[in-house]
Amino acid sequence: MSGELKLLKPGIHFMMGNIACAEAALIAGCEFYAGYPITPSNEIAEHMSRRMPQLGRHFIQMEDEIASIVAVCGASAAGVKAMTATSGPGFSLMMETIGLSAMLELPCVIVDVQRAGPSTGIPTFVGQGDVMQARWGSHGDYELVVYSPSTVQEFFDLTIEAFNTSEWLRIPVIVLSDEVVGHMYGRLQVPEYDKIKIINRKRYSGPREEYLPYSSETLVPLFVAAGDGFRIHMTGLTHDERGYPSLEIEDSHKLVERLVMKVKKNAKNLWKYETLYLDDADVVVVTFGITARSTEEAVRRARNEGLKVGMIKLLTLWPFPEDPVKVASQYARRILVAEINMGQLIHPVREVAECPVAGINYPVGYVPPPEYILDGIRAAV
Amino acid sequence: MSQKQILKEKIVEESPRDDLIRRERFPHIWCPGCGLGTVLKCYVEAIAASNIPIDKHVIVSGIGCTGRIAGYVRLDSYHVTHGRPIAFAEGMKIVRPDLEVTVISGDGDLVTIGGNHFIHAVRRNVDINVFLVNNFIYGMTGNQMGSTTPLGAKSSTSPYGCPEFPFNLPLLAAALGAPFVARWTTLHVRQLADAMKRALQVKGFAFIEIISPCPVGFGSYNDLREGRDFIKLFLENCIVDHSADLNKVGITLRPGEPIILGNFVDREVPTYHELELEVFRKAGWLK
Amino acid sequence: MSLKLVREPINKHLQKVPLGIIHVIPERCKECGFCIDLCPKDVLTVGEERNIKGYRWPKIADGKATECIACRMCEWICPEFAIFVVEVDRREHV
């Protein structure tokens, strides 16, 4: 199949994180890419501009990030898998439309290659300052899923996972990468194609008159695309099961609750994380993204010094993996949250932790060296 | 039986075009005297007369009084965020060129907040239809001025008269290269429906500016308090001139100054989709 | 140009003038007055009965029923889809 469709051959590759992300999107079945240039995500757009037409798929560079994510939603409404990639400033622009995607329940994937902020910040340097925004950026109640890769392999795997989750739950899914993971070269193993799981949104195929676009019979309604002949109405206004705007209290309650429960009820299935030396750890470092790479080295050095340290690398940031953090906090004396910002992931950690939590924060723009994290660990021990 | 009895008006509960409107939601929310219902009527007539299957028509709208039209027409309809229907329609049309995608939204939505998307969609010449209803005001939010509010006109945010020049939309669209540019009012129902029918056939960005009464909103600030006052204004001041100099078709709404209507531009321009085929050829996907 | 040049067609007696039967959906009417104002034959006028929202839907003015020529201006201009015309053969009704 891969030979036919000109996708990456199964086997070992060595490539840049951003390129791995783009290739993963192609494998996942992305048929529409709309984006706007922004450092450090440009390699994704540039690669897609070359590869999408080779596969008969559509690439378009829009006039701004808002147009990009809106066009992605339009393509999704027409029934295809669609994505965009951006960084902090563009991500901020997309917030209203992320809400639209959540409200209309149009699957889409947004890659945010984080850079130093706030505002224009340092476009070419790393940051991890979009953690909260990825979860809470848009107004109102909704839930989405945010994945965070720390290696080229994870960027590849989590991009495919992002498409799958987005199609399964009909939500916007964010791949929250960062400039270093995006620009680093690394080992990538592409599995045999029959081993790669691809999920497509479930479509309705019953009688036309009985179709309810936003039925609350199940958590995720069945989808129909524009032009399928169902003459549906989709609106960003709070709506009833027919999709028509409604002011009724039951409709608002049913809809908003279902948008949130879609993810909440499936949270445990969505938690992806890796642990290291957790069994007897007194101090546990919770981290993600490029900081996890540094932290792993720091934890190994700490163990060599005889310190009982462990780490949890979160691959899913939202919905926040409460159970592993809570369980770790029941056995550890201290939890440390290492991130390249002034403290964002530390908040959900504190919410569930049963022991004191402190942050290891590094100036935005730079990767904390293992020694710095080790100092933070030593201070906590 | 007396002939006059047969010729009384008949009281019924359905109209012939009810199959194309979401009649369960009627009467609609628009004010008495508002022109939007007429726009809906002309659009419904145009799609019925088009030889495109009804199931292939898609309507995308934004926020505002005009935006509500998506909820009243029985088509695949998408009522998206403020200013963005054109970008949404582009994404949809590019992946499904078999669909007939029409954007119907207001002046605030399409060329004020949505101005950037408008400009670029015309530039790209994506094959969508954009019917912009211009009532010179932001009606739904309480009658604030917008980019088409005439100079000196009153509104809730221009109590001393609007200090800005408005857009000349036909000039703008034509200058950007649109293949089809027309302007009609809701009084000129048949010409409007014909222009819509033509727009549905046009390959590329087909643009119609529809001047519409807003008696409760714009009208109450500018001495046009009823729908019939607008009709009178249209009857007295509208001039049809298909070959008008677009530099001179700006609207001032000052007494005696004409509102120029017509099918101003109808030309062939390569569409985005045709140009994209070249990309597919060069990439090796097409021969 | 002299008006004397305008002649009466010799087949005028064979010409058919359309006749329309006006249909109204009272609950949809919002009394905007467009149909009344724009009827070229002044067939319509404000009715006496009010619908549930208090609007008076149009009725045919006294003695005007046969003057409707089925131009459908009322049907086209009505923003409410509240009025439409069915064309019939005038010779069968008048």
- Cβ neighbours of residue A187 closer than 8 Å, sequence gap 6 or more: A12, A13, A14, A152, A153
Say what the pLDDT of residue A2 is. Answer: 45
Are the CB atoms for A221 and A170 separated by under 8 Å? yes
Is B7 within a domain? no
Residue A204 lies in a domain: no
Q: What is the pLDDT of residue A13?
A: 98
Indicate the Cα dihedral angle B43, B49, B52, B54, nearest 10°: 60
Instruction: Report which residue type is found at A130.
Output: D
Q: Which of the residue ranges A67-81, B128-142, C6-20 would you say has the lowest mean pLDDT?
A: C6-20
CATH number for position A73:
3.40.50.970
User: Above 50 in pLDDT, residue B227?
Assistant: yes
Whether B167 has a pLDDT exceeding 50, the answer reads yes
- We report the CATH number of the domain holding residue B81 as 3.40.50.970
Kindly write down the DSSP assignment for every residue of A25-86, as one continuous string.
HHHHTEEEEEE---TTTHHHHHHHHHHHHHTT-EEEE-SSHHHHHHHHHHHHHTT-EEEEEE
The burial of A79, by beta-carbon neighbours within 10 Å (0-12 exposed, 13-18 middle, 19 or more buried), is given as buried
> What DSSP element (H or E) covers A295?
helix A289-304
Which of C14, C28, C24 has its CA nearest to residue C74?
Answer: C24
Answer yes or no: do B227 and C34 touch at CB < 8 A. Answer: yes
ipTM above 0.90, yes or no: yes
Picking from A195, A219, A254, the residue at the C-terminal end of a domain is A195
In sequence order, what DSSP letters do the residues of A211-253 get, joined into one string?
A: --TT-SSSSSPPB--TTSS---EEESS-B-TTS-B---HHHHH
Within-domain flag for B174: yes
pLDDT average, residue stretch C76-82: 97
Q: Quick check: A235 and B98 CB within 8 A?
A: no
Q: Tell me the mean pLDDT in the region B44-66.
A: 97
The whole-number average pLDDT for the span B255-276 is: 97
Would you place residue A1 in the very low, low, confident or very high pLDDT band (cuts 50, 70, 90)?
Answer: very low
Q: Please say which residue of A195, A227, A262 terminates a domain.
A: A195
> A77, A2, A95, A76: which is closest to A33 by C-alpha?
A76
Per-residue confidence band for C65, with pLDDT thresholds at 50, 70 and 90: confident
Q: Based on the domain organization, do A157 and A304 belong to the same domain?
A: no
Residue B257 lies in a domain: yes
Higher pLDDT, C5 or A317: A317
Q: Does some domain include residue A30?
A: yes
- Would the CB atoms of B31 and C30 count as touching at under 8 Å? yes
Are 3 or more Cβ–Cβ pairs between B and C shorter than 8 Å?
yes
CATH of the domain at A309: 3.40.50.920
pLDDT for position C17: 86
- Looking at the structure, tell me whether residues A171 and A43 fall in a common domain: yes
Confidence of residue C3 (pLDDT cuts 50, 70, 90): low
Looking at the domain assignment, is residue B191 inside a domain? yes
CB contact under 8 A, B190 and C76: yes
Task: Give C41: exposed, middle or buried? Use CB within 10 Å, 0-12, 13-18, 19+.
Answer: middle
CB B87 within 8 A of CB A70: yes
pLDDT range class, residue C12, cuts 50, 70, 90: confident
Collect all residues of chain C within an 8 Å Cβ-Cβ radius of residue B66. none
Q: Which residues of B touch C37 (CB under 8 A)?
A: 228, 231
Q: Based on the structure, what is the number of domains in chain B?
A: 1
Give the pLDDT mean for A275-303: 97
The answer to whether residue B4 is domain-embedded is no
Would you say residue B105 lies in a domain?
Answer: yes
Contact B16 C25 (CB under 8 A): no
User: What confidence tens digit (pLDDT) does each residue in C38-61 have?
Assistant: 999 999 999 999 999 999 999 999
How much is the pLDDT for C2?
Answer: 58
- Statement: residue B5 has pLDDT above 60: no
CB contact under 8 A, A66 and B87: yes
Helix-helix angle B85-95:B272-282, to 10 degrees: 50
| CB atoms C25 and B11 under 8 Å | yes
**Partner-chain contact A70 B81, CB within 8 Å:** yes
Q: What is the mean pLDDT of residues A189-215?
A: 97
Counting one residue from chain B and one from chain C, the pairs whose CB atoms sit within 8 A come to 107
pLDDT at residue B187 is higher than 90: yes
- What integer is the mean pLDDT of B178-189? 98
**Average pLDDT for residues A50-64, to the nearest whole number?**
97
pLDDT confidence of C7, banded at 50, 70, 90? confident
Q: Which residues of B touch C79 (CB under 8 A)?
A: 30, 33-38, 40-41, 186
Which of B56, B71, B79 comes nearest A227 by C-beta? B56
Q: Are A348 and A320 in contact, with CB atoms under 8 Å apart?
A: yes
pLDDT of B265 strictly over 60: yes
- Using a CB-CB cut-off of 8 Å, the residues of chain B touching C65 are 4, 7-8
Length reported for chain B: 287
Give the other-Cβ count within 10 Å of A210's Cβ: 8
Q: Report chain B residues whose CB lies below 8 A from the CB of C51.
A: none
* Span C16-93 CATH architecture: 2-Layer Sandwich (3.30)
Last residue of a domain, one of A178, A195, A212: A195
- pLDDT confidence tier of residue B1, bands split at 50, 70 and 90: very low
Say if CB A156 and CB A188 are below 8 A apart.
yes
Taking contacts as CB-CB distances below 8 angstroms, the residues of chain A near B76 are 226-228, 230-232
The mean of the pLDDT values for chain B is 96
B51 falls within a domain = yes
Assess contact for A207 and A196: CB atoms under 8 A: no
A152-188 pLDDT, tens digit per residue, is 999 999 999 999 999 999 999 999 999 999 999 999 9
* pLDDT at B19 > cutoff 70: yes
Q: Report d(CA A122, CA A136) in Å as an integer.
A: 23
High-pLDDT (> 90) share of chain A, %: 98
Rounded to the nearest integer, the mean pLDDT of chain A is: 97
- The whole domain housing A52 covers 2-195
Q: Please check the confidence at residue A14 and state whether its pLDDT lies above 90.
A: yes
Residue B44 belongs to what domain range?
17-282
Place of tokens 């965009």: A84
Q: Is the pLDDT of residue C89 over 90?
A: no
Listing DSSP states for A338-381 in one string gives EESSSSSTHHHHHHH-SS-EEEEE--TBSPPPHHHHHHHHHHH-
Number of folded domains in chain A?
Answer: 2
